[in-house]
Structure 1
Amino acid sequence: MAPYESDDSATADAEELRAARRRKAARYVVPATVVGIAAATIGLVPALADSGDPDLPKISAQQLIEKIAASDVEQLSGTVKITTDLGLPDLGGLESSLGSAAGSSGSGDGSSADPTTKLTELASGTHTLRVAADGENKQKVSLLEDAAEYSLIHDGKDVWGYDSKSNSVFHSTASESDGKQKEELPATPKDLAEDALKAADKTTSVTVEGTAQVAGRDAYRLVIKPKDEGSTVGQITVAVDSKTGLPLKFTLTPASGGAAVVDAGFTQVTFAKPAASTFDFTPPKGAKVTEKDAAEAPDHSKDFKDSKDLGKGSTHERGTKGPGGSGGLDGLNVIGDGWDSVATFDTGGKGVPSGAEAGGDIGGFLDSLGDKVSGKFGTGTVFKTRLINALITDDGKVYVGAVTKDVLVKAANAG
């Protein structure tokens, strides 16, 4: 029995030795295998990336711009995702300090369904919009919110705004010859792209850089870059549908790098005629309806036109007046040209109060928000976002633009 037991023990020892060797080998083989797989994967990355880029005929930047201009898409429906990140600071505990004031400002005769109250919501965060269009006089934009929806409908002479959360309705009438209504939300990449292309001049580089697929459609990538070093804009990329010339996606990245400041694009789109019922609207039972004749509404289009003209010329006076023909941005000037242009106006009052003057949380917040600067103009405070910066001097003058702090100070010194 002893020899048998001895042999059994030797066999067990041999098996344990072989197992130990296998485990030791595994410690080297497994990492080597992983490295090999990783290397193979890295080698495949360019192929994988290229597989998503459609092979389209070559096109020049000028031809692509002409294609956008010639786009005659009048019927479409789809979903647009918009993400905006201006880098605005979190108000934090300051909200409680301003709570009563904010509450009172939200009350009054205004309607939560008024389109102008919804514009500010698109200035931050990520939002999903449903859009539909059937010619110049039928459009609909719906802003999807948590368990609620806001819709803006233009149907002939009627413009309806409906906020399901508050069950409130805003109604305006206008002549069909007015085309796009003053209350229209700038919802689509096409709206953003057209504004960007208006600024394309000798201060701008416009190129076609590759292709992309957006919402399942083949597109060219039009890249717009400022030549001016003082601009906070890094580049604007517009994905243009290769067949229709319609901009499908708009992305603005800052010169400072990081995430896009504005990223708006279709996630789904079709160019079929929307159902006529898409633009039908009847105020729900019990809804509060606010009537407003568009002919009586203040015309902000001149203000917006002036702002879009920034960068189109040299120093000159706009002479823009606020709504109603008085007040507002009276005597608006633009200093410089191209992407480095700065808008300036005089508030006629004092500048930003210091922390000591404002007191409490508000004063501390104001101090942390801005950078104190000085120059020939005197002293002031620069308030910064990832795109738009503003210098407010202590004597109430304002200099604002998509430019760096140094450019603002230089403009103030010259002004």
Structure 2
Amino acid sequence: MILMDVFRRWSMGRREAKWFRMMNGGLPVFSQFGTNIYASDIVQNCINVIATEMSKLQPRHIRTSGNEQTIPNGNLNRLLRFGPNPLMTTSEFIEKQIWLLLMNYNAFIVPIFDSDFSSGVERRSYRGLYPINPSRVEFLQEPTGELLIRFHFPSGVDFTFRYADVIHLRKKFSVNELMGGGADGQPDNSALLRVLQTNYTLAQGLERAAKINAAIQGILKVNTVMDDEAQRAERDRFIKLVESGESGILPLDLKGDYTQLRGDAKFIDKDTLAFLQQSALNWFGVSLPILTGEFTDEQYQAFYEKALEPLVIYFTQKYSKVLFTERELDVGNEIAWYQRDMNYLSTSSKINLIKTMGEQGLLSDNQKLALMGYPPKPGGERITQSLNYIDVNLINQYQMQNKSKAVTSDNE
């Protein structure tokens, strides 16, 4: 209800617009979206790992002027820091859009803002950022050429916005002109689906083999001709003897022989199962140590560079392009996604980092404490530096002075 009231107030409503004309002649109407691969626990675990790590990002509005970067005070930084909308924290906001992007190959975030033109140029004041999950998306074009996007929801309501004002994240943006995924604007998971189907079939086979192996323990041969009812009675009598046996010795009369069966079910070799699992993990760029949390510094660095860093760069570009006007972009405004809380280093690596950067005078005492997981302390903004280093601009002067002293000493 909250979202509906917000969007109803800021939506452009039904506009006199035609469908956007696509190059391939198709209609720009796309339904949301395939979910068949997400019944797999492997897929859900992979997405959860990526979403959890990405939720540690700290987005900030920064302004760059020359070599100096500042963080302006304003409502946009407040939204990015504490919660982009009344329903979510920043971590939840990031996690939700990652899930939507990796599930649907398309994710939509609608910014709500006020525009002020009193100074002659547009200045925006943002009220909130809302990730949405529509059931259908339509691209429209006004007579002026402006592109619009209309979102339809399962409740039957729809809202229309300027496409330039919507943050549209796309995964595998290739053959479709407007949407991520395949030619129809939906996730193209056919290759992954075959691997998951094979893995599921083998798992089902393993389950049946285990049940059979555990269920049939032996054969009771009755050396008389009996009808079905008599056989069931004899079997029940045998089971009672087994259940009541306390000494391990089972008495049988002359008409019964029992042959024990040794369980020897043939299972799929572990290399085949590992290959199928790794094929699914590779689809998302997640290794098994990352999934289990037993990774080294190098393994996490590889995971970050392959699966996370492209998203960090993409988010920086996309959010900056949509949230700022051309004028604001020209004077150095952008949204930066800082990843300092993706703290993957081991204790020994942290100590080495503190030693190296601390000697260079690049870390304050509080920054060193934060790196080790300790709270800041009063006076912790002090920065110390080793005396074993010298400014590169003073090296020649220092060497010439030493040379002059050496010559003087020789003359003496």
Q: TM-score under structure 1 normalisation?
A: 0.20
Higher normalized strand content (fraction of residues): 1
Higher normalized helix content (fraction of residues): 2
Q: Which has the higher contact order (CA 8 A, sep 6+)?
A: 2
Larger radius of gyration: 2
